[in-house]
Every structure is written in C-alpha cells, then in structure tokens.
Amino acid sequence: MTGIPGFDGLPLFATIIAVILSAIASLLGTMTRKQQVEMGMVDTAALCELTGITDPRDLQDVFGPPAMNRVWHGLTLPMILQERRIAGHLISNDRIDQACIAIAVIAVFWRHPIVEGLLVLAACVQIAGWALAYKLPK
C-alpha cells in the first residue's frame, strides 16, 4: 500500500463515483433523445447525438433534407440506430453505459488488478463519449 494512510482507496472510490455519475447522465440524455424520436420531432442535435455524425450536411446525405422547421419527420429509432457511427456508440449507447456502471459496482466489492484495469477503461470510455459529445453541433 502506498499513499497517505487512511486515504489509500480514495482515488479508486472517486473514479468509481465519477464513472457511475457520468454513465447515469449519459443514459438520461440518451433517454431524452429517444423520446424526441418517438414523438416524431427529431432535430439536428438529437440526430447527431444518436448517430455520432458531427456534420449537419452529412445528416442530409443520410436522412434527406429536414422540413421547414429544421426537424426530420417520419424517422424511427431503428432507422437512426442503423446509421450509427463509432462516435455514436460512445456518446449514446445504453449497453456501454450500463457496462460501465456494472464495472464500477463490481470494483466497489472486488479489488483485483483486472477489475481496476476495467474501471480505468470504463472511465476512458466515459471521457471519450463526453469529449465527442462536446464537438457535436448544438
């Protein structure tokens, strides 16, 4: 054991909390975007977040031009998810966020180098998702 006595597990615990909170925030954002799709009013921000396509002109190539109010009508969630890029998986894939939460919960109860490595990987995935989401059009 290294570090300050009594605070050896603090960085690990802080990483666990950060991964869990980040994944929950991502799940909530994705849920909101999916509800927009179900209501039939899909705007550029929702399409970019769900697909990972960062250029709005590329959205027009994939989904056609938007209506007059800059929203796409008639798109379904399977149609949108079919066009998902790697960035879209990092930003808005529920399974990836749920896996990150599961890894963090396991890391609370089981101290092992493999689990700690998976926790670092989960933290990197969450950071990458937020960094990619920052580059999306608003």
pLDDT digits (tens, 9 = 90+) for 10-22: 888 999 999 999 9
The confidence score (pLDDT) of residue 67 equals 85
**Partner residues linked to 42 by β-bridges:** 72
CA gap 135, 73 in Å, rounded = 25
**Partner residues linked to 43 by β-bridges:** 71
pLDDT of 120 higher than 90: yes
pLDDT digits (tens, 9 = 90+) for 45-75: 899 999 999 888 888 899 988 888 888 888 9
Query: Over the chain, what HEC string results?
Result: CCCCCCCCCHHHHHHHHHHHHHHHHHHHHHHHHHHHHHHCCEEHHHHHHHHCCCCHHHHHHHHCCCCCCCEECCCCHHHHHHCCCHHHHHHHCHHHHHHHHHHHHHHHHCCCHHHHHHHHHHHHHHHHHHHHHHCCCC
The confidence score (pLDDT) of residue 137 equals 79
Average pLDDT for 118-137: 93
Would you place residue 82 in the very low, low, confident or very high pLDDT band (cuts 50, 70, 90)? very high
Would you place residue 135 in the very low, low, confident or very high pLDDT band (cuts 50, 70, 90)? confident
Mean pLDDT of the chain: 89
**Residue whose tokens read 């031009």:** 65
Global pTM value: 0.87
The confidence score (pLDDT) of residue 2 equals 55
**Residue whose tokens read 């960035």:** 87
